[in-house]
Amino acid sequence: MGGDREVVSPAATLGSLTGRLHGGDLWPSDGHWVHARDAAEFSVDAEYVGIFNPAGDGGVVVLNAQARKVLRCFDTPATLPDIRAGLPLPSAEVDAVVNRLQQAGVIHPPGQPPRPSFRESTMLTAWLHVSNACNLRCSYCYVHKSAAGMDERTGRASVDAVLDAAAIHGFTAVKLKYAGGEASLNSALVLILDGYARERAAELGLDLHATLLSNGVALPKLFTQALAAAGVRIMVSLDGIGAAHDAQRPTIAGKPSFRSVARTVTRLLDEGWVTPDSRVVRDGLESIDPARGFVRENRFSRTE
């Protein structure tokens, strides 16, 4: 659940009435604006909805009921004075919400939808599919699993290709993500490739960041200690707590996996060798809050 999230409410004070279009023009405060056709709305809980326009670059905004009423006013083209006059809210609060909706690309002048724009990146990220095997059978998995794993020659050539491309194209850093399948099932190769990548990065003057993506079912202690010593981060996938996770992430034998993952996470934290990230995958509203609670209780470094 990546991306920034900001809560918009009429109580917020968010600045001026004019903003900058993606092309750099300023919008007049008395011009017409309309709700972006491509903006997707999803329920967060009983009080809030999230809005995201994939064509914009403003990330996700979260609206309370009053801010949502402001947005609804733009279902047909409307001006800011129209909105102020039509809602029983202080003008300054309406202005603040409109300003933020505009910044997020959720409303735009009729006929001028935001165009996607991307910041220039200095880091080249590559996923290395080191194992096609996995000890889980997640319901949504797209990997056609087999016993195959990446061999060392292919792995070194892949590292060379990524790092050389980064240097040639002016990147200053590379991030390698060791993935699968379950990447830890090819742990020896992960450590070999990480060592090789660090040598090559030093030669080329590149910063190297690395993360092991794991389902967390079985991460041997010696392996995680070696990763910690090398500076490789670990990301453990969690699809909710207990039954919510188990419903989507059964083992090959169809058994629950949550207890194993929780045990692994607790061990990693207790050892203090690594600081894992947790990506909470939303499969329904009931999964989010307990999962966030789990993250807090277990002192994860970050939620996404």
Stretch that binds ligand SF4, among 47-55, 131-139, 152-160, 196-204 (CB under 6 A): 131-139
261 or 295: CB nearest ligand SF4:
261
- 64 counts as binding ligand SF4 under rule CB under 6 A: no
Q: Pick out residues in 239-278 that bind ligand SF4 (CB under 6 A).
A: 249
In one-letter notation, the amino acid at residue 216 is G
Q: Does residue number 138 form part of the binding site for ligand SF4 (CB under 6 A)?
A: yes
State the Cα–Cα distance between residues 151 and 135, nearest whole angstrom.
20
Measured from the CB atom, is 141 or 148 closer to ligand SF4? 141
Q: Of 62-70, 118-126, 174-182, 183-191, which part binds ligand SF4 (CB under 6 A)?
A: 174-182
Binding flag, residue 180, ligand SF4 (CB under 6 A): yes
**Residue (144 or 169) nearer to ligand SF4, CB:** 144
Is residue 14 within the footprint of ligand SF4 (CB under 6 A)?
no
**Interaction residues for ligand SF4, span 205-224 (CB under 6 A):** 215
CB 260 within 8 A of CB 215: no
Q: Which is nearer to ligand SF4, 129 or 200 (CB)?
A: 129
Which of these segments, 9-17, 38-46, 136-144, 157-165, binds ligand SF4 (CB under 6 A)? 136-144
Among 8, 70, 128, 134, binds ligand SF4 (CB under 6 A): 134
> Which CB, 78 or 138, lies closer to ligand SF4?
138
- Select the span of 71-79, 104-112, 133-141, 274-282 touching ligand SF4 (CB under 6 A): 133-141
**Residues of the shown chain interacting with ligand SF4 in the complex, contacts defined by CB under 6 A:** 134, 136-138, 141, 143, 180-182, 215, 249
